[in-house]
Chain A
């Protein structure tokens, strides 16, 4: 897979039998719908796709940040705000192929999770927790842009 930001091949990072695609240059993370399905571990097929599809219903955020293309279908992804209180943007594929977290985004999200009492039953939070457990993302990444 190619990083939607840097266009270089990403590295697969496996933790607890689930793989995330990680770009070692921009530190962005791709959570593929298939892997999300494995994480959610439900009997309902397509639960992860349904989750991503529901995210694509959120209003698109129009900001100056360049739009990214889904690494699977190469079509433009939608920027959505999943933060509560503070704006936190992630990219979601309109065709439900997965979620993209920019280098800083995952860290910021985890930070917010610590403050807010998260709804642990929410699969989106489960995904974020999984990213935290995998990378133990620190709020700031010193010396790296």
Chain B
């Protein structure tokens, strides 16, 4: 297990460096174009990066969670998800239970974030809790747990800060450039050279975020496969994750409150045109259809070796995903049976379980009327009593 983590780390350092160089280049280009000074832009870009990284390191998870309006839950708020996370925590061998958050969003997605294994957070949307069965939920939680266990979360968080910085600088830089046309006056001469620099700067501003995205993709892709493989191993039931991915891919709702920086933290790429299904165009994640195909091709052997074999079947001669030394120990692990359908409540029940937990977390008060209706009264209700719209019973609050 350790080798593939280290292998990933070396690769990541190279790619992060490339992204950092990209940022500094962008900064100096902009400095040259707007202020006529390479070094100033470079230092400014570096400063912004450092500040954002520090903020991201210490506050990243809470910022991300507050952006997505996530609510922390305890064991009693929603036992179903809590139990699944607990199972996966034990299966993955983590020491500490991650904090669990629910994001109030009908779209289906999940993400993990945090500084390290002991400061990790796992967030799932209410839509996911509603639409997935226990096996599927376990597969998704296993995947996120693997990200925490494989130390992906901090790196991905830092990378998204870096990517975010590049995107922000390029965006604001292009605005300033288009409004001022660059501050260098034509009187300073060298018109031709200036235009070339200007054009280069514009081209770089357009290309830098795209190139950074590609690097980001290179960092995240392999990690996604590895997290899928680990999830299959933890749950001993790859069909759970496969079927969850299938459901998520078929859903048409887009996650609210995401931006290009936070996208890779989700289990599937949250960016797609609203109303359309998630296609294989996703950039930060490997194609979903392929992930599903590999999981389903594991043929009962749910070890890392089983995943490797299935991966190789899909990618002939493309090189494996898991280093050989870690394949020796985990030769064959037999797939378990599906959890009986009786354990998983029906979708309507799951919907109410998820929404009731959220109402409670938002301090809504639940009242059941004798006529059979149930009300969830907001904490800022305008009146001291509520009249049942069906039987006109007055409920005093």
Chain A residues at the B interface, C-beta cutoff of 8 Å: 8-15, 17-19, 22, 24-25, 27, 33-35, 38, 41, 45-46, 49, 53, 95-96, 134-136
Contacts and interface: CB of A to CB of B under 8 A. Distances in A.
Contacts of B253: 49
Given A13-B374, A15-B373, A38 B351 contact: yes
A14 B381 contact: no
Contacts of A41: 348
Given A34-B130, A45-B251, 4 more contacts: A11-B381, A13-B373, A15-B373, A96-B275
B355 A19 contact: yes
What is the predominant secondary structure among interface residues of chain A facing chain B?
Answer: mixed
Nearest to A12: B376
26 contacts: A9-B381, A10-B378, A11-B377, A12-B355, A12-B364, A12-B376, A13-B373, A14-B352, A14-B374, A14-B376, A17-B348, A17-B349, A17-B352, A19-B352, A19-B376, A24-B383, A24-B386, A34-B127, A34-B351, A41-B348, A45-B250, A46-B250, A49-B253, A49-B275, A95-B274, A135-B390
A12 B368 CA distance: 12
Interface in B229-275: 247, 250-253, 274-275
A129 to B, nearest CB: 15
B313 to A, nearest CB: 29
Q: Place the interface of chain B in its size category.
A: 20 to 34
Interface string B52-78: 000000000000000000000000000
A11 B385 CA distance: 12
Contacts of A24: 382-383, 386-387, 389
Nearest to B372: A15
Contacts of A49: 252-253, 275
A13 B274 contact: no
5 A-B pairs closest in CB distance: A9-B378, A14-B374, A12-B376, A17-B348, A46-B252
B362 to A, nearest CB: 10
Contacts, number: 73
A24 B389 CA distance: 8
A11 B250 contact: no
Given A8-B382, A24-B389, A134-B390, A46 B351 contact: no
B347 interface: yes
B380 interface: yes
A8 B106 CA distance: 22
A11 B390 contact: no
A27 B390 CA distance: 11
A127 B275 CA distance: 22
A10 B374 CA distance: 14
Contact of A135 (B364, B386, B389): B389
Contacts of B386: 11, 24
A12 to B, nearest CB: 4
B69 to A, nearest CB: 13
B375 interface: yes
Contacts of B352: 14, 17, 19
B359 interface: yes
B375 A13 contact: yes
B382 A38 contact: no
A22 B233 CA distance: 46
A113 B170 CA distance: 58
Contacts of A27: 389
Interface string B339-365: 000000001110110010001000010
B37 to A, nearest CB: 43
A52 B119 CA distance: 43
Contacts of A12: 355, 359, 364, 375-376
A14 B390 contact: no
A18 B373 CA distance: 10
